Amino acid sequence: MNAPAFRNRGVVLLAALALGACTTIPTGPSVMVLPGEGKHFDQFRFDDAECRQFALTQSGATAEDASTGSGVKSAAIGAGVGAVAGAVIGGRHGAAVGAGTGVAIGSVAGAGAAQSSGRIAQQRYDIGYQQCMYAKGHKIPSTARFERNSATPRYTAPPPPGSPPPGSPPPPR
């Protein structure tokens, strides 16, 4: 494969990886909240808008996080480390190969970090949203869990003094 075609494919791959590695900002809750007892739907909508704003601040996500995602930073660091390692190992041509490899590995690592950070931001958002809506009197559905607690010993009071031992036949009348 000739060098210009290899470079063009590398640039396309780098752009795709860098864009895929951007941190996502939560756009809304991924949990259900229902209107509380006696709450009108208009009040629910008003509280929903207020709690979405509250949740966004609680998540810690900002527009800056999305524009300078961890994938872009990892790709840049990977390219630098790869270029230095390639230069040490293989000279001038090794630096280019090392930089390309470093960009690819750094981008993949950054994509994983961005995905993880996006998931954490969504969890923080959801928790903040539910707390806010619950504090305003709305319902948070939850799963029910039924447990049989047969392992718990039951306390039985001892028989009164002078009574026959348990399991003995009743006294004749």
Residue 124 token pair? 């923080």
For the cut 60, the answer to whether the pLDDT of residue 19 exceeds it is no
Per the CB < 8 A criterion, the answer to whether 17 and 109 are in contact is no
C-alpha 45/C-alpha 42 separation (Å) is 5
Q: Which residues contact 115 (CB under 8 A, 6 or more apart)?
A: none
- The greatest distance separating any two alpha carbons of the chain, rounded to the nearest whole angstrom, comes to 112
Residues 126-168: tens digit of each pLDDT: 999 999 999 999 999 887 777 776 666 667 777 778 777 777 7
DSSP assigned state of 161: T
C-alpha 85/C-alpha 98 separation (Å) is 6
Q: Please classify residue 145 by burial: count the beta carbons closer than 10 Å to its beta carbon, then call 0-12 exposed, 13-18 middle and 19+ buried.
A: exposed
Mean pLDDT over residues 106-132, rounded? Answer: 78
| Residue whose structure tokens are 């026959």 | 164
Residue 24 token pair? 């996502």
| Residue whose structure tokens are 């950054």 | 110
Q: What are phi and psi of 168, to 5 degrees?
A: -85, 155
pTM comes to 0.48
Per the CB < 8 A criterion, the answer to whether 27 and 127 are in contact is no
Per the CB < 8 A criterion, the answer to whether 99 and 75 are in contact is no
Residues 64-75: tens digit of each pLDDT: 554 445 455 555
Handedness of CA 10, 80, 121, 57 (dihedral sign): negative
Mean pLDDT lowest among 50-59, 100-109, 138-147, 153-162: 100-109
Instruction: Collapse the DSSP code of 117 into the 3-class scheme (helix H, G, I; strand E, B; otherwise coil) and give the result.
Output: helix
